[in-house]
Each structure stands twice: as C-alpha cells, then as structure tokens.
Amino acid sequence: MSATNGAAASNSPSQSEFCDFLKRKYPDDENDISQNNNQSEENQNSDSNNSWKKQKQVGEENGGNCTMTPDTTSSPMAPYTSTEIPISCAEKFSTNNGSTTTTITSPVSSSYTTSSPTVESTQVTSSSSAASFNIMTNNPAFINDLFAYDANLLVPTTSTDNLLSQGEPSFTAPSAICVNTTQQFHEEGENADNWQATDLLELDHRYNSTLQTEITQLNPTVPLKPHEENLVTLVEQQHHSNQNHGEQSNQRQYIQSAEEISKSGKQLPAMIQHTTADTEPDFEDRNLSWLLNFKFDEFPHLNPDVAGGPNRSQKSSMHCNGGAGGYKVINGTANGRERSKSPKSTNKAGKKFEELVMEVTSEVEGGDMAVGENVVIEDTTTIPQRAPKKPPFTYTELIEYALEDKGELTVSGIYTWISDRFPYYKSNDDRWKNSVRHNLSINPHFRKGHKAPQGAGHLWTISSGDSAENVLAWEHKKQRLDLFFKMESMNRERLVQQHQQQQQQKKQQSSSNSTRHQSHSHDGSSQDACLYDEAAVAAAAIQQEMLQQGHTTTTAKDVSLPHHQHYHAQHQQNSHHRTTLHQANVHQQQHHHHHPPHHSQSLHDLPYNELLSEEELRKTAGQILNGIHREVEVQSVNHHQPIISTYQDVLLDNDYLNPIHKDVAVNESGLHQVNNTTVSATAGNSHTGHGTTTATTPYYVTEIDPIELGIQMSSHPNPLVHCQTHSNNNHQHDHAHQNHHSNNHQLHSHHHHHSHHIHGSGDPNSSLNAEDTDVILFNDEFNLNYFTYNPATDIVA
DNA sequence: AGCTGTTTAGACACCG
DNA sequence: CGGTGTCTAAACAGCT
Ligand SMILES: [Mg+2]
C-alpha cells in the first residue's frame, strides 16, 4: 500500500486515448493482416517481450514484486502473485465525449499563438454521444492474435464465473466506444476473436478519417447487441445519472488493478482464492513465456538456420518472440548472424532458457530443433492458459494511461499500473521496465516531478497540450483503451462459456465413455478457456467504482484530456493534460477549456514556481531544456559582457507539439522576457550582419551561460549568433525522437509546416527563417536532448 | 546492491 | 531510400 501514493492516484482522470499507431503495427490492410498473422504466431509463441527479467530468479519469489518497493505505487502491487488476478481494468470513459468543447478547427493554429493560449476552444461538439458498440463477436476468424491478446490469459478458470457475472459491467460507457460499423456483424460463428483487432483498427481508422473531417463522426454508430447491452448497462446507467448531474463529461471510469479492486471491497475473492490455490502459487512465476524470448545466438543448438521452416525473416537479430499461443517457439530463422551480443543478458537468460529448451525439446519428438514446433511448456497440460499477447499499445501510451489515471506515479508505480492491467507485462521482467524508463526519459511530455516520498526516484507526471487536436487524439486513445478492455471482457466471457461447454462435453463424454482423448482440444475456436480475465476483473472493478462513485465524493481529478496529436500521423503521442477539479462540488464544467486556467495550475503544480537560487535555476534550466522540444533561437548576444543568451520565441504555448507550456518552460528555465528593442540592441551589436534578430518578437533572456545548459555556441566567425529556430514541434514531438543515428539528421528539415506556425504566431523572424542561412543550425524540431551531441553542427557540446 | 534516469545504438516497419 | 516511430538492449551515473 503504500498508500498509493500518488495521492493523486485515485481520481485522476485519465482517459484513454487511442492512437493510431496501431495501424502501423497492425495494419489494417489485409496484407498487413496476413503479415500480422505471421507475426502473431510468432508472438504467440514466443511471446515476446516481456519476459525475461534479468534478475529474475530471485525475484520470482516475490513474484511480482519485485521491484516495486518504492513508494506509493507499490501498494497495488502485489497483484498477481497474491491474487493472481492480474488485472482488472476498468475503463473509464471519457466522459467528455459528448461534450468536448474544443474545437478542432485549425489544428495547427492552436498552439502557437504565443500570447494567447487559448486555443479555440470551445465548442464543440460533438461528440460522441452515445456510442454504440457494435460488433463484436462473432467473427469467425481470429485475426491474429495480435489483438487477441489477453483474452487468453490465463488464469485457470474455476472461479471465473463469479467474476464474469460481476465483471460484465466492465464495459463502460458506450459513449466512448466507437466502433466502426463496417464489418461488424457477422453473426455467424462465435469466433469473435477478431473483433478486437478489427474494432481497434476501425476505431483508429475512424479517428484518422475524422481528423480530416470532423469530430462528430466519432460518434458511435452501431447499436449494441443485446447481450452487449447488458454488459453495458451498468455503465450507461451510471452514465446517465451523471449526465443528469451534468457531469457527464468528466466522469471517468478508471481502470483499476485487481488489487485495488479487492481493496475496494469488491470481492473477487472467491476467485482469487480459488485460483491461487489451484494453480500455481505464483502466477507470474509460472508463466514462462519470457523464456521464449531469446536470441538464437544464445542457443546455437537451436539455431534455426538449419531448420528452415516458416521463417520469417531475416532479421537477424532476433529474438524470437514467443508467443502465446501454445507456447510454441517459432522458428526463426535466424541466421546466425548476430551472435555475440549482449553478454549479460544473454548469459543469464540464456542459461535458463537453454535448460528449459533442452527439456522441452527433448520431449518433443525427434528433438527436432526446429524451433518452430510447438513446444509445450509447463503446465499447459492441465491449464489451458495461454500466454498473454502483447497489448496493442506503445510504451508511451501505456505510460500515458497510467499517468493520466493516477496523476503522478513513481517509476515503480508505473510498472505496477501496467503489470496489474496487462498480464503480458510481468512484474518480474526487467526488460520492459527498461523500456518504460527509457520512454519516460525520452518523451518530453513525461515530466519528472518531485522526489518520491519514499525511496529513490521521483514522481512522474504527464503534461499535455490543450489544443483541440490533442483533445481529439486523447479521446481517441481513451476510446481505444476502453474498447480494448471491452473486447477483452467479451473474449473472456466467450472463453468461459466455451470452457464450460467443453467441460460439459467432457463430462458427457466421460460418462458416455467414449474416447478418452479429446484431442480436439485445440479447435480453432476454442482456446482453452482461460478464464481469467482481466476484463472480468476490470468489470468488477468498474462496477464497484461506479457504486462508489455514487456515494463518495472522491476527489476526482479530472484530467482533461490531452489532446494532441498530429494528424497525420498517426501514431504518436499524445499528450494529455490534466486538470484537477473537485468533483464534488464543481465539476460541472467539464468543458475542456482547460486552457487558461489550467496553465496556471500547471505552473502551480510545478515545483519551480518559487524563486530559485541561481544554482537552482541553472540546474533547472538545464533540466528543462533537456528533453523538451522547443523552438529556440539561441543567440549569444554579447561576448564581452556577461553572457546573455536569448531564447527567441521559442517557447510556445503548450499544445500537443509542445507539451510544456511556454510559461512553464520560461519559468523553469529562468528566462526573462525582454523587449525586442532591448534585445535587438544587444543583438545588433553582436552580430550585425545576420539580421537574424527579429524585430518584433519578444525574447526570452537568461543570463545563464548557454554552455551550462549544454548549448554551445559555435565558435565561428560570429560567435555571436547562433540561432536556432525551430519549431520544433514536430509532429510528434513528444517523442523524443531518438535520433537515429547521428542526431544531426533529424535536426534539419522537415516539418516546415510547423514553422509557419511560428511565423503565424507573429513572429516573423523571417530572417530567422531562413533556414538557409548559415546561422540557423536547426530547423524544425530538434530535441534539445541532443543538443549536446551534435558535433557536426555548430552547436557542440 | 538495487533502483532510477539518461543516453546511445541497432534493428525494423512504414510511409512518401 | 531517407525520415520516422517503436522496441530492445546496454552502458552509466546518481541515489538510497
Ligand atoms: Mg521526460
């Protein structure tokens, strides 16, 4: 417990948004699909990811825990192990749907106005009122497992029933979901497996199209099926009630972890106990999927080169992911290429894996190494479980969801949040945790806040822009997450039913005495039952939450959503911003006009508001500059005097491109706004020629030596000026782009469009524009993170 | 020693 | 193909 730290945790709002990135990974196209399938297989088998942990062995015991110590977050933790039930997620929905205020109109514009933050807000529209969910189930084929993901998860069934019943409600508000209609109803079979993938893709597709067109389209279309309706019922009710109250928009449903749920009182108890008892002690421990994530190199004898098989490709590198499925290892064809690689992990993991493999293989016929075959691992025999599939969310998204939901979390809290809800990410696996940390560092919208109360580390928060786009994008993400969980629930339900049927059949058979072998266990459709469902749990959680909400006035923070994203893009990030409201009283406002006020709040929240000592300023400035994309013009105004650096108009209001509001950045950086005149004067001195100085725009000046901030002015001829303009914003901005390779590249080019924004903002610095000029080092976006690293450019460090 | 947080890199998938 | 986005692995430094 820990109290959960985050204080915030509980209420925050978050929502889920959804991105399109799915597309990429899981393309809509049929072709893609096919590919996906392949992949999926792999995945299933190996399951990639996650799994290994570096440390692991020990860990295990703990099970999950592992790491979590720290503060807050942890409390929830223990999750699985103890309970076994991993996740529950409930979703919340964005309430806003219908009312989102923001308009989307010009996407671009929004942000940049320097002065006035407000975007256009207002309005809006749209919304999605109630959405209806469509679809579902009934598709015959599974698309691939990619999406199937958790449906399978694993937990032995038994008690599930209870859960299910309770769980059902998980579906939240219909409103949130928008599924595309297109296919939907094939009612034939029961295979509904597809729906997840399909739905998500559709959602994404829709989102994309909407971006172009209008928001309104987001509204849901298809009506729910009866049974679905049932599921939803609770939610809707709640929803209605809320609406009545006028809250609708804000209400959210949260995703709770199993633990939370249990705490809350709901009980899943039966299940939990049961499960735990039955199967393994530790759920996670038992799941050996991580073992499948190996590198061929490490296990020469397994090297597929020989084997042949379906291989995939050539990626030499490889890890095979194993996937779920039945724990098969897929083959990879790996070439032996990469062999020597990571010593560490390799060794450790390798051994384990190796041993395991040996065992397995031995069992397997012929020992064919073909890795491709099915290797059954462990208990599969008795337990139907399948390894969870990798959720269709990027790490960035997962973190966003977690932070939006809880407001602020420690790193370990984030791990917990994720692992509680997505079985794929085991708490004893260090690999994905490394990725999480990496993403925190690399994405500017993830901000490191105060030090964690307890252990090492800090509380992380998310900052998002308020632009309409962002709002939309966030809405989309939320919907995606919600849809995902719904689908999960449904799948779960379906599986349970199947399982029950099977059991009945078995009984009958046994009684009838027919053949013992019930070989067909794996029929396409039936996957064994996994009963466990996150969804169920989630549902339960939601239900509970709803109930609670009714009474409690929890504090709710609402988070407004974030917004952002780029259009095209797809994929990307988003940002979010959250605002806090007290539900109890006020909440009505829901409108997202967070802007104005919010900004201020955000400032307040930040630790920086107060005056800082010089050192602190320096430190802070460095931190701020580090990792934030901004458009900056750095000029060395004067040499002889104290160094004065100018950051020109760089800091934009926050929006999806610039998650951190300009004011915040300025404040944190210790910058002062200066009149043009002033600056120009100085500037003029220094470098005359270039004219880079813009007449009009205000400058932000700091006395901190740029070098201290990691920015080195070029030593060239005019030492003076170096400007960078960039708009940085890039599409994605957030993402930090890691530059591939040399950072240089990215720095230049692209994204000009954004640049105009800047201009638009009133800052003509046409002169600056000139990307052409020598002076300008960077164009559009560039990540100050890399400032230091670019030797090539003038800026060096 | 373990956890955190920052960076660097290589590999891939996509997209225009 | 180059630019991007994502993922994974790692090296490292700083804290606790
Ligand atoms: Mg960051």
The pLDDT tens digits of the residues spanning A614-625 come to: 554 554 444 444
Q: pLDDT at residue A419 above 60?
A: yes
Which amino acid makes up residue A233? T
**Strand, coil or helix: A80:** helix
CA distance linking residue A431 with residue A793, whole number of Å: 34
Distance A24 CA to B15 C1' (A): 10
Across chain A, mean pLDDT equals: 44
The structure tokens listed for A620 are 């802070």
Where residue A424 falls among pLDDT bands split at 50, 70, 90?
Answer: very high
pLDDT of res. A470: 77
Residue A249 to residues A242, A252, A475, A569: CA-CA distances in angstroms?
8, 8, 11, 27
Three-class DSSP labels, A255-291? CCEHHHHHHHCCCCHHHHHHHHHHCCCCHHHHCCHHH
pLDDT of res. A221: 26
- C-beta of residue A612 within 8 angstroms of C-beta of residue A670: yes
Separation of A726 CA from ligand 1 center, angstroms? 20
Separation of A734 CA from ligand 1 center, angstroms? 9
Q: Report pLDDT digits (tens) over A88-132.
A: 333 332 333 333 222 222 222 222 222 232 222 322 223 322 222
The structure tokens listed for A363 are 């069992």
Closest nucleotide over all strands to A398 (CA to C1'): C6
CA distance linking residue A582 with residue A202, whole number of Å: 35
The structure tokens listed for A658 are 């610039």
Distance A498 CA to B4 C1' (A): 45
Nearest to A68 by CA among A539, A456, A581: A456
Region of poorest pLDDT, from A197-201, A508-512, A518-522: A518-522
Chain C positions with a protein C-beta closer than 7 Å: 2-11, 14-16
Which amino acid makes up residue A209? S
The alpha carbon of residue A374 and the mean position of all alpha carbons in its chain are separated, in whole angstroms, by 32
- Say what angle helices A431-442 and A411-421 make with each other, to 10 degrees: 120
Average pLDDT over residues A343-355: 33
- Residue A419 parent element (H or E): helix A411-421
Q: Report pLDDT digits (tens) over A557-569.
A: 333 223 332 222 2
The alpha carbon of residue A518 and the mean position of all alpha carbons in its chain are separated, in whole angstroms, by 41
Region of poorest pLDDT, from A161-170, A432-441, A513-522: A161-170
Nearest to A748 by CA among A776, A708, A721: A776
For residue A673, say whether its CB is under 7 Å from any atom of strand B.
no
Q: Report pLDDT digits (tens) over A472-500.
A: 888 888 889 988 998 888 888 888 888 88
Closest nucleotide over all strands to A25 (CA to C1'): B13
Separation of first and last alpha carbons in chain A = 44
Chain B positions with a protein C-beta closer than 7 Å: 2-16
Residue with tokens 């049932």: A230
Separation of A439 CA from ligand 1 center, angstroms? 7
- Residue A669 parent element (H or E): helix A662-669
Where residue A503 falls among pLDDT bands split at 50, 70, 90?
Answer: confident
Footprint of strand C on the protein (CB under 7 A): A 19, 21, 24, 48-50, 52, 293, 319, 341-346, 394-396, 431-432, 434-435, 437-439, 451, 455-456, 569, 571-573, 730-732, 735, 737-738, 740, 745-746, 749-751
Q: pLDDT at residue A726 above 70?
A: no
Which of chain A's residues 290-329 bind strand B, using a 7 Å CB cutoff? 313-318
CA distance linking residue A306 with residue A298, whole number of Å: 15
Q: Report pLDDT digits (tens) over A630-668.
A: 334 444 444 444 333 333 333 334 444 455 556 666 666
Closest nucleotide over all strands to A741 (CA to C1'): B9
Nearest to A594 by CA among A474, A464, A693, A752: A464
CB atoms within 10 A of CB A698: 18
Closest nucleotide over all strands to A344 (CA to C1'): C10
For residue A619, say whether its CB is under 7 Å from any atom of strand B.
no
Closest nucleotide over all strands to A54 (CA to C1'): C9
